Amino acid sequence: MTLRLLTLITASLIMIIAGSGGTLAKANGSIDWRVENSFRLFLNPEHSKAQIDLYRSLSDEEKKTPVLSMERKLAENNQGGWAEEIFTQTCWDNTRNRYRFCRGKGVDYINPKIHKVLIRYTGSFVPTDRCEWVFIAGGKGSRRGRVHRQAALCGDEVGFDIPFPKGGRVHVSINGIKKANKHVRVIDIFIVGLGDSFGSGEGNPDDPVKFTDDQSADYGLDPNKRPMKGYPTRRGDWEKVGDAAFLREAARWQSRACHRSLYSYQLRTALQLAIDDPHRAVTFAGFACSGSEITIGLFLRYKGNEWDKHPPQLPQLSYVSEELCGKGTSTPKDYTSGYTQLGKLPELQNMVLNKCYKPRRKIDLLLVSIGGNDVGFSSLVANAIMQDKSLLKKVGGWLGGVYGPKEARKALGVLKTRYKALNKAFHYMLKIPWKQSDRIILSAYPRMERTEDGASLCPSGNAGMSLYPDFSVVNSKLKEASDFADELFNLMKTSSRAHGWTFVDEHRDQFASHGFCAVNPDNPELIAEQMDLPRYADKEWSSYQPSEYLPYASRQRWFRTPNDAYMTGHYHTSGAVSNGLMRHKRTKWFQVVMAGTYSGSFHPTAEGHAVIADAVVKKARKILRKYGK
């Protein structure tokens, strides 16, 4: 046999083997890998994977606003909202108000030592080939660590626990022939969320109240002796409003006291950043609490805006310090005057905060929504929607809960000082480096007062707030609130610039045509677009059946109206307070007011939070790239 003939035969054999997919087709392949549970707050990795798969299904256009696009698709497939089935399956312990252990005792959520990754060989092989995998722990240039081995069909994924942060090297062989190797190192991003109701997800419970069509509720007479009858009510085997069976059907939250849910823009931002990169894991710790101010809430203890047998025990800053240090290792410190700003903030005199002197890890991103409660913006809104002669407005005024822009402007100067104190705490307590202040991301409050045309203010009238007769927008007062909102926005922007924070405001103008009175002009007949509250009279429901209301359906308005809040959170007091209100015809009416206000009226819907998250994600990606993550 000549050398020429031998060469031709050899070449032919190689081509035949290659065409059959044999193991000789390619001497070297490649290795693909991904973090099994990229959003570590979720206990079940399948919940993270479902979000990733949904993201991958989006069109290129939809991926320009990924969180909003995903929220809408999730709402289409989950009438009660996507969070209701999974919000109890997280690493948050709502009895201790802590992020502690996941997947068994001793596995630290905040400071992970390992991440499970799933690895696949992407070279050529026949279906019956078995891949031999070897993982050697240790980073590049570091001392060789433990060796782990596995064998599996080459078409299957294999899982390895990868040490964090060093990682290690993976090798794969087929029939003793080395095929590929790759260094595997997980990037874990630590994101913390702080702030108020706009940061907590107020108005968007993880498990909203479900309503029945077979029963209605009566709430006696209002102060003007008008009957409060025929209101939608929650399903269940209860006998009277406020009894134990009735309260068991209440909305459920990740944190009941703080009205914090998975719909929060802070959580959705962290979740999207986990989706972005298959080699990234995100550790998220959110502490935002509805009703919080910089002083009472972040610096000082605040128990939340709804009674809970497990209310927050510490200020938000102390909670973060505890998580940075680990259980029992942060130190309570008495700050006699360090944060009073030369006596301008006397409420912070002699406060006690937990401080972490040796953090286990650094905060990569600090998401913040704060300032609105410090200037009493909700009081301005109340002033704009309550009739002057209303008893409710008079009582609110006596209690300091309803006032106009003159009083609010007095608080702007104080807010500027509070931001200074907070900036100091971010650096000295939470250990954000001074030269990396842009890791702190303050979000602007979105516009809420315009119609679907994006320019006109919501007109006078009770559209969206018919649940209580004295609720009615006064256009001139709404204009005052709108003007003040611009002043607040400017102060937040200049304060962020002064402290080097990242300020996110792209979403503010996106909300312009999605105010609380906005209606889709193309589909005004949709139930989601209805502004009325259904009422039962003459043996039928007006507008629509209560059970047909879908709190997370897509709609033009991105703010909850009082009617929406009633039909979503349906807040009712419990215990002695509830019994006292419901015992007398002359006080029952106040329960309706609370159901329409304490349930998140004039707060963003889940779509609204998604829009804010998309704006924050854009800035967050730039920051992470800047710092090599």
Predicted pLDDT at 581: 65
Predicted pLDDT at 583: 65
Answer for the pair 177, 23: CB distance below 8 angstroms, yes or no. yes
**Residue 513 DSSP label:** G
d(CA 531, CA 525): 10
Answer for the pair 379, 365: CB distance below 8 angstroms, yes or no. no
d(CA 313, CA 267): 22
Q: 35, 23, 17: which is closest to 131 by C-alpha?
A: 23
Residue 43 CB neighbours (<10 A) = 17
Answer for the pair 187, 280: CB distance below 8 angstroms, yes or no. yes
Q: Tens digit of pLDDT for each residue in 131-151? A: 999 999 986 655 667 899 999
Q: 506, 516, 332: which is closest to 429 by C-alpha?
A: 332
Q: Among the residues of 350-404, which ranges form H helices? A: 377-385, 391-398
Predicted pLDDT at 405: 84
Answer for the pair 478, 377: CB distance below 8 angstroms, yes or no. no
| Burial class (CB within 10 angstroms; exposed 0-12, middle 13-18, buried 19+) of 455 | exposed
Distance from the Cα of residue 587 to its chain's centroid = 35
Distance from the Cα of residue 408 to its chain's centroid = 28
Residue 242 CB neighbours (<10 A) = 21
| Neighbouring-strand partners of residue 285 | 192
Q: 390, 528, 367: which is closest to 442 by C-alpha?
A: 367
Predicted pLDDT at 389: 61
Q: Tens digit of pLDDT for each residue in 162-193? A: 999 999 999 999 999 999 999 999 999 999 99
Residues 6+ apart with CB under 8 A from 574: 242, 247, 307
Predicted pLDDT at 482: 94
Kind of pairing between the strands at 130-137 and 147-153: antiparallel
- Unique residue bearing structure tokens 């001497």: 27
| Neighbouring-strand partners of residue 365 | 191
Low-confidence ranges of the chain (pLDDT < 70): 1-27, 103-106, 139-144, 327-328, 387-402, 575-585
Handedness of CA 35, 39, 45, 49 (dihedral sign): negative
| Neighbouring-strand partners of residue 208 | none
Query: What is the CATH T-level fold of the domain 190-626, as seen in this structure?
Result: Rossmann fold (3.40.50)
| Neighbouring-strand partners of residue 355 | 331
* Residue 13, amino acid: L
* Residue 173, amino acid: S
SS3 199: helix
Distance from the Cα of residue 472 to its chain's centroid = 31
Predicted pLDDT at 328: 61
Answer for the pair 96, 310: CB distance below 8 angstroms, yes or no. yes
Answer for the pair 371, 413: CB distance below 8 angstroms, yes or no. no
d(CA 570, CA 220): 18
Q: Tens digit of pLDDT for each residue in 311-345? A: 999 999 999 999 999 866 788 888 878 899 999 99
Q: Tens digit of pLDDT for each residue in 540-583? A: 999 999 999 999 999 999 999 999 999 999 999 876 566 666 66
